[in-house]
Structure 1
């Protein structure tokens, strides 16, 4: 009997010791939530490495998925999913985005590197209530932007640039209160620019689409620092919109159909690059103070009147192909000869003169073009090829403009 008791005691001790050994490794890491595990499996089945990519080589589902490349976990949930090798120039992924991605309920960040993903955006993205960062750029995403993305009330960055998206920008997207960055450039989006209500929105990039219509003066928040709407078909005036955006450090409205004047106060904003070329802007250009902007492009518009001396502090200034008249201010000549101006394009206007000594040597680092004005250029300068070969306007044109 005593022998049996000792045997049973030793057996119990052995079992407890074995259980303890098994428990130790289990206590060092959490087991991934089954829904997240299945979602990752479906995502993997719908995507492949492009030739030269080995991103999915670590995705072995017999091991811990939280150690997979691009997968980041907190406790038993996936909180960040960065699909593809983020190094510049690395091959991307192909395939489609599986709707199972909506099962990653704790996901806060989703990004996919440039590749050949050709699906539409799954409606299930709207289930990711914790999503703050969504960036799927430079792929072949098609279809429309789901209106249900507006359910992501905590979304801060939306980058769907360089894809094949069509349709309108859902007005409900503009109602997301927490947006910081909206980048939808280089798509095929149509319709108008919706109102954006987020008072934290700092970057709005909608360039290279097919957007049309006018922009309401109250549609963009004053928090904007970067605004690019170029290469669309937008129209109407912006003289009431722009004065509200006094925090801008970059503005590109080029290649649209905007009309009317531009406010002189615009030149006092902390802008480093101002692009208004190829529109239908008209009237005089009158900065209210010395301009500190590095590059200003007002070319191919209908600006008129004399050129303001306050613009002579701009390093790269494009005033060509407008209707400017009168003499070029002497301050431009001084700055040009002192190498303070690198580019000064004044061709294709109605300017009548510039006070510069024909023997003056323009610094090699500077470019001046005076071609096709109502004067004979006093100095020989190298103009862009597209400026044409004719040095002066026909006298009939100059007389008609003065008359």
Structure 2
């Protein structure tokens, strides 16, 4: 044995030296990241896979520094940003589940997941990320409920869980988050009522395409709101007091709900490019106090009544069809229509009794006028959308009954 060691001493010396060097390098590489974060990333990696054609995880070699991985950004020895499927790495998306160990990345401020096929539920452990400011897990197949424990994310600015399969209520604890600026939960299967939102820096709420119901408190949304999208839900009740308070809105879509009551005149003074209130149960007259500068307004399929205000003649695309408007169409509408200032004027399916327009006049090619199914003989023949039907005039019996 002595003879063997003596004869091979140089070999064993070099082997041991190399082994020490490898171990040292490995320890140094791993020492660059906190051991808890290192193990958490390993578990995240084990629970996810690249979709076919992706090589996002190609750089995730745990014999090297994890802070150099695609989508991983560190501050010191802690992970602060994790972009899973970072599109800058050329990933079309990931599949698998979000491992609960992700909640051990205690310094993480931003977590994003690009569109893909990630399924399962949102880990409740995400609520442990006290520094989290930005959470975006959209366009995947996330199911289950939004954890009520997300109310512990007191510094959260953006919550984007859109285009998933989430069910259950929006937790009241989420509405109580004090720093929220963006809430995007559209295209899910969320139900129940909308909780009050307390953040005074909240600017965007997008909850369209869900199954939300109930009414919204007049003080349930902060005046800081600029973008409000609630389309395609089952929300009820009046919103006139609520909307009057939200005078910073630049985008409103409340269409396809069950809202009732009047539409406040103040809303027509807001800096809005597109006002969508169609397919609700709004009722009563609509009386803007000044000429309306909103380019597109859709109030169709409601229960609005009274005469049409001439203040709407400055609107480029105006949908007032399928309501209960009566009386004559203001002359200013005709003037602006013939001057091509009005592009769409849909007044069909009301109880209008007249419009002052020369029967021989030609409607500009760039403009569309529909007067079908009112209480008047059509003075001009115009192309109407197919939904207007084939009947040109409303039955006399209905007109007499409505007038009476």
TM-score (structure 2 length as normaliser): 0.91
In 2, the alpha carbon distance for the partners of 1:164 and 1:356 equals: 52
Give the C-alpha shift of residue 85 in structure 1: 4.0
- Residue by residue, what CA displacement relative to the aligned partner does 1:320-370 show, whole Å, maximum 9, x if unpaired? 000000111111111111111111110000111111122222222211111
Compared CA separation, residues 91 and 352, structure 1 to 2 (3 A)? same
Q: Which residue of 1 aligns with 2:54?
A: 53
Q: Which residue of 2 aligns with 1:72?
A: 73
1:299–1:321 contact (8 Å) kept in structure 2: yes
> 1:336 and 2:329 equivalent?
no
Q: Which residue of 2 aligns with 1:221?
A: 222
Q: Which residue of 1 aligns with 2:117?
A: 116
In 2, the alpha carbon distance for the partners of 1:275 and 1:313 equals: 17
> 1:152 and 2:166 equivalent?
no
Compared CA separation, residues 28 and 192, structure 1 to 2 (3 A)? closer
- Residue by residue, what CA displacement relative to the aligned partner does 1:262-299 show, whole Å, maximum 9, x if unpaired? 11111011111111111111000001111111111100
Compared CA separation, residues 90 and 398, structure 1 to 2 (3 A)? farther
Give the C-alpha shift of residue 90 in structure 1: 5.9
Taking the TM superposition and a 5 Å limit, the aligned residue runs for 1:238-253 are 238-253=239-254
Q: Which residue of 1 aligns with 2:399?
A: 398
Q: Which residue of 1 aligns with 2:266?
A: 265
Taking the TM superposition and a 5 Å limit, the aligned residue runs for 1:26-65 are 31-65=32-66
Q: Which residue of 2 aligns with 1:209?
A: 210
Q: Which residue of 2 aligns with 1:365?
A: 366
- 4+ residue runs over 4 A deviation: 26-30, 87-90
Give the C-alpha shift of residue 28 in structure 1: 12
1:30–1:75 contact (8 Å) kept in structure 2: no
TM-score (structure 1 length as normaliser): 0.91
**Alignment gaps of 5+ in structure 1:** 1-22
In 1, the alpha carbon distance for the partners of 2:72 and 2:216 equals: 41
In 2, the alpha carbon distance for the partners of 1:192 and 1:28 equals: 50
> 1:192 and 2:193 equivalent?
yes
Give the C-alpha shift of residue 27 in structure 1: 10
How many residues are paired up? Answer: 383
In 2, the alpha carbon distance for the partners of 1:53 and 1:277 equals: 43
**Alignment gaps of 5+ in structure 2:** 1-23
In 2, the alpha carbon distance for the partners of 1:27 and 1:60 equals: 15
Give the C-alpha shift of residue 92 in structure 1: 1.2
